[in-house]
């Protein structure tokens, strides 16, 4: 939920979520961590506060990111970097030629 909230916060989206505390042990652990209302509904801003930065690199092909492509002499990756305060979206297509690091 928190990673999704961070990405959505950067793009103007919204999400809501609740903790599922279905055992006494989970309730006790949450209380120990400062959760006073176990039924609280958390909003986007609750899960991702302040100036949020979000980055993701594709591993396999998906709707938002291309997966890693292995070429003869290089490896290509596609990364997206988002920032909430400026609503900036950066797309980075990188060609890695030092195959030893992989």
Task: State the DSSP string of 19-57.
Answer: ----SHHHHHHHHHTT---TTPPEEHHHHS-SS-EEEEE
pLDDT at residue 98 in the model: 84
pLDDT at residue 99 in the model: 76
91: which strand partners?
80
Backbone angles phi and psi of 72, in degrees to 5: -65, -45
- Compute the distance between CA of residue 62 and CA of residue 85 in angstroms, rounded to an integer: 26
Residue matched to tokens 């492509």: 69
pTM of the model: 0.79
Closest CA relative to residue 41, chosen from 19, 21, 8: 19
Residues 38-90: pLDDT tens digits? 899 999 999 999 999 999 999 999 999 999 999 989 999 999 999 999 999 99
- Compute the distance between CA of residue 87 and CA of residue 22 in angstroms, rounded to an integer: 37
Q: Flag whether pLDDT at 100 surpasses 90.
A: no
Tell me the three state secondary structure of residue 7.
helix
């Amino acid at each position: 939920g928190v990673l999704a909230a961070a990405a959505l916060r950067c793009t103007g989206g919204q999400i809501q979520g609740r903790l599922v505390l279905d055992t006494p042990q989970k309730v006790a652990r949450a209380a120990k961590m400062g959760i006073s209302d176990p039924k609280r509904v958390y909003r986007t801003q609750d899960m991702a506060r302040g100036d949020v930065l979000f980055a993701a690199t594709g591993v396999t092909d998906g709707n938002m990111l291309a997966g890693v492509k292995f070429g003869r002499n290089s490896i290509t990756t596609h990364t997206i970097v988002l920032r909430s305060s400026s609503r900036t979206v950066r797309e980075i297509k990188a060609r890695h030629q030092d195959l030893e690091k992989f």
